[in-house]
Chain A
Amino acid sequence: MTTDWPKRALQMLEESRSHPGWGYRANDIPYVEPSVVCGFALRARFGTGTQEPSRSREIAQWLKRLSQPDGSVGLSAELPRPAWPTAWALWYWRTAAHTSGEPCRKATEWLLRRRGETFPTPRNVGHDTTIPGWPWVEGTHSWVEPSAIAIQALCLSGLGTHQRVRDGVRLLLNRPVPSGGWNTGNRITKGTPLRALPAPTGISLIALATALTATERADRHVREIVQRAINYLLEQLPRTRAPQSLGWGLLGLAAWGVHPEEAEWWLSESAEQMLGRRAEPLPLGVLLLAERPDRSLRAMGVPVRQLDPHLEATGVLATP
């Protein structure tokens, strides 16, 4: 039996808001990432365009005020660096009714210029370190989550065929762990395969749903990567009630047309556990997005894809 948790979660979001957005903790100063995720959650629930709630509109305006002269957007008004949230801000702007303007253009250019450090692949590292993606912090290597978010933002900016985006997709396809799904971006270290994690896997599946071309989606190797990631999530999500892991995992599945029957129950348990302990805006926002996944994906500009069922019939990609 599920509860009325979404209503209470929305109420909690309202109470924990720090105008004009949300902090990582209730009533903390607003940070870009939780503000964007909670803004997406409000849009998914109450509509976009003329129906968009004032709360989520205000976030878009606030993000523009955070835009630095070089086009980047930092963590918060207090912390202009590191600027990995630029991709979140651009993603948010590009899915709003009002996407034009200098901050959008400059953030796009900034993101295209930014690239993770590359170097010849060392012995005992299991991924191709020469593929440029996006780092968390400038001057460091590329990782899965910042790359996935940058890919999403740039695709929504009409740059899906840009070389940087294609390299980013190549990076994601190069980095899954051997058993399926993604860790933070390493797959094998010193000869040992790493374990996948639900949230990076979900976010990567979202980015791939948006960025993969029809030709790529038809490629057997690519479809195997996607199917193995889906299999991983189907196996792992019943065993976690951690909100961001569960929420991003379910959204990643939904982006590929997969909706576990018990998801509603898992979300309810996760939300109740959280509301009973410490309510934090970002995890609450992710849970609310996952509760209405198809609407949320639309609000976030993510298309829903389907894998060719023929692939599963081969037995190679059988679900657990």
Chain B
Amino acid sequence: MTHHPTSPKNTSPGRGVSGQRGVSRRALLAGAGTAAAGVAGLAWYGGSEGGWRAETAILRAPRYDASLPRRLREGLTTLGIDRQAVHRKRILLKPNLVEPSREAPHINTHPLFVRSVAEVFLQLDAAEVIVAEGQGHIRDSWYVLEQSGLQSQLDDTKLSFIDLNVDRVFTAKNAGGRMKERKLYLPQTLRRVDWIVSLPKMKTHHWAGATLAMKNLFGVMPGICYGWPKNVLHFNGIPQSIYDINATVRPHLAIVDGIVGMEGDGPIMGTPKEAGVIVMGRNFPAVDATCCRLMQIDPRRVPYLRLSSGRLGPILERHIEQRGEAIAACATPFATLPDSGLLPETSPI
């Protein structure tokens, strides 16, 4: 559950595209007033983080095997997500399939991971589970499913796949306001589901510092409107785009595949990194900040997290309740490139 002064009892994650809670007025005003003064416009909200509090769960998972559904279910239980919460929900799973290659399976969310999450939601009485992706580089979604190994898992489980790159689109007001676009094109499929669940891979990123639950939402932006790659988002600034997309889409749950992640030249050309963890939570900045700590990257050095702090959620450790495993027990250093977009070291707040 995410706690915030404006919605202290918000038991389900916020929704932008369907008109639920957006960024608080206070946060917006603070952001507008300080954007120009911050590091490349990424002003630090402040040590209070606007009162945001959140929980994340960390689970150990040494490999992709039959125990995954049980571990995932434990994690959901830890966060209070039970059968009642999931009952009759239409669930959209958004894996990271940016540019899969059979030669490098660590690029994408593992197909067994996607399958296991789907099975768990179906066990919890979800009305429907669909897998959807608007992959960033490859126009041929059949190639993406083939190279990633996901097609065979979809076949086995009769799960349907939706190519968000060519979905019918609608426009939504840009609730973040950091990009120059006042409206964003979004796939209509987002409107027909109850929960959007981001299933990223735990990776470093050669421009953004890290790519996790929030950056994974680049993949809901339709390629027919934003290109392959989605260069419009790069030209607007990657942190600003990540912020605006998350502020507008307001996804519901993140479950990070950190069993084997990627370090170095992510998101595509990096090397595999065994981290042996699954991280989940409803508040995306909190989840990504926790992942960063597990990767031994200070989340305050990640521009999009700095921008999101106090506006979309908390990133400071004291504002995030860690459930399950302790960070210190699971953390392992992920190598980053020298010029990977990370901000200079910051002093503790």
Chain A residues engaging chain B, CB cutoff 8 angstroms: 24-25, 28-29, 31, 75, 79, 82, 84, 117, 124, 135-137, 139-141, 143, 145, 183-184, 189-192, 194-195, 197-199, 239-245, 274, 277, 283
Q: Which residues of A contact B155 (CB under 8 A)?
A: 277
Chain A: CB-nearest residue to B146 = A242
Within the complex, which residue of A141, A189, A241 is in contact with B146, where a contact is CB–CB below 8 Å?
Answer: A241
Q: Give, as a whole number of angstroms, the nearest-CB distance from B256 to chain A.
A: 24
Pairwise interchain contact A199-B142, C-beta atoms closer than 8 A: no
Pairwise interchain contact B269-A192, C-beta atoms closer than 8 A: yes
Kindly identify, within residues 287 to 329 of chain B, every residue whose CB is under 8 Å from any CB belonging to chain A.
none
Pairwise interchain contact A137-B268, C-beta atoms closer than 8 A: no
Kindly identify, within residues 109 to 152 of chain B, every residue whose CB is under 8 Å from any CB belonging to chain A.
137-140, 142-147
Q: Which residues of B contact A198 (CB under 8 A)?
A: 140, 143
Q: Which residues of A contact B223 (CB under 8 A)?
A: 136
Known: A25-B166, A79-B169, A135-B231. A145 touches B225 (CB 8 A): no
Q: Which residues of A contact B65 (CB under 8 A)?
A: none
Pairwise interchain contact A140-B142, C-beta atoms closer than 8 A: no
Interface flags for B231-272 (1: CB within 8 Å of A; 0: not) read: 110110000000000000000000000000000010011000
Kindly state the separation between the CA atoms of A290 and B137 in the bound complex, as whole angstroms.
Answer: 23
Pairwise interchain contact A242-B143, C-beta atoms closer than 8 A: yes
Beyond A136-B223, A140-B231, A143-B227, 5 additional contacts (C-beta under 8 Å) are A190-B269, A190-B339, A192-B265, A241-B142, A244-B139
Q: Give, as a whole number of angstroms, the nearest-CB distance from B259 to chain A.
A: 23
Kindly state the separation between the CA atoms of A274 and B337 in the bound complex, as whole angstroms.
Answer: 41
Q: Which residues of B contact A84 (CB under 8 A)?
A: 227
Kindly state the separation between the CA atoms of A137 and B229 in the bound complex, as whole angstroms.
Answer: 10
Q: Which residues of B contact A28 (CB under 8 A)?
A: 168
Known: A29-B168, A245-B140. A190 touches B225 (CB 8 A): no
Pairwise interchain contact A140-B232, C-beta atoms closer than 8 A: yes
Pairwise interchain contact A184-B229, C-beta atoms closer than 8 A: yes
Interface flags for B329-349 (1: CB within 8 Å of A; 0: not) read: 000000001010000000000
Within the complex, which residue of A137, A242, A283 is in contact with B232, where a contact is CB–CB below 8 Å?
Answer: A137
Q: Which residues of B contact A135 (CB under 8 A)?
A: 227, 231
Pairwise interchain contact B226-A137, C-beta atoms closer than 8 A: yes
Let me know if B101 is at the binding interface, CB within 8 A.
Answer: yes
Kindly state the separation between the CA atoms of A73 and B224 in the bound complex, as whole angstroms.
Answer: 13
* 20 contacts across the A-B interface (CB closer than 8 A): A24-B224, A31-B166, A31-B224, A124-B339, A136-B228, A137-B227, A140-B232, A141-B231, A141-B235, A143-B229, A145-B139, A190-B206, A190-B265, A199-B143, A240-B143, A241-B146, A242-B145, A242-B147, A243-B142, A245-B143
Kindly state the separation between the CA atoms of A141 and B232 in the bound complex, as whole angstroms.
Answer: 9
Within the complex, which residue of A183, A189, A195, A199 is in contact with B139, where a contact is CB–CB below 8 Å?
Answer: A199
Kindly state the separation between the CA atoms of A194 and B339 in the bound complex, as whole angstroms.
Answer: 18
Q: Give, as a whole number of angstroms, the nearest-CB distance from A115 to chain B.
A: 14
Within the complex, which residue of B101, B227, B337 is in contact with A140, where a contact is CB–CB below 8 Å?
Answer: B227
Q: Which residues of A contact B339 (CB under 8 A)?
A: 124, 190
Pairwise interchain contact B143-A244, C-beta atoms closer than 8 A: yes
Q: Which residues of B contact A240 (CB under 8 A)?
A: 143, 146-147
Q: Which residues of A contact B268 (CB under 8 A)?
A: 194-195
Q: Which residues of B contact A124 (CB under 8 A)?
A: 339
Within the complex, which residue of A75, A136, A199, A242 is in contact with B231, where a contact is CB–CB below 8 Å?
Answer: A136
Known: A25-B166, A141-B231. A242 touches B226 (CB 8 A): no
Kindly state the separation between the CA atoms of A104 and B159 in the bound complex, as whole angstroms.
Answer: 44
Pairwise interchain contact B225-A82, C-beta atoms closer than 8 A: yes
Chain B: CB-nearest residue to A283 = B142
Kindly state the separation between the CA atoms of A198 and B99 in the bound complex, as whole angstroms.
Answer: 12
Q: Give, as a whole number of angstroms, the nearest-CB distance from A87 to chain B.
A: 14
Kindly identify, within residues 74 to 107 of chain B, every residue whose CB is under 8 Å from any CB belonging to chain A.
99, 101-103
Kindly state the separation between the CA atoms of A73 and B144 in the bound complex, as whole angstroms.
Answer: 28
Interface flags for B148-178 (1: CB within 8 Å of A; 0: not) read: 0000000100000001001011000000000
Pairwise interchain contact A245-B142, C-beta atoms closer than 8 A: yes
Pairwise interchain contact A136-B227, C-beta atoms closer than 8 A: yes
Within the complex, which residue of B166, B206, B228 is in contact with A145, where a contact is CB–CB below 8 Å?
Answer: B228
Chain B: CB-nearest residue to A248 = B140
Kindly state the separation between the CA atoms of A84 and B224 in the bound complex, as whole angstroms.
Answer: 9
Pairwise interchain contact B140-A243, C-beta atoms closer than 8 A: yes
Chain B: CB-nearest residue to A183 = B137
Q: Which residues of A contact B269 (CB under 8 A)?
A: 189-190, 192, 194
Known: A136-B228, A136-B231, A190-B265. A197 touches B137 (CB 8 A): yes
Q: Which residues of A contact B144 (CB under 8 A)?
A: 242
Kindly state the separation between the CA atoms of A143 and B137 in the bound complex, as whole angstroms.
Answer: 11
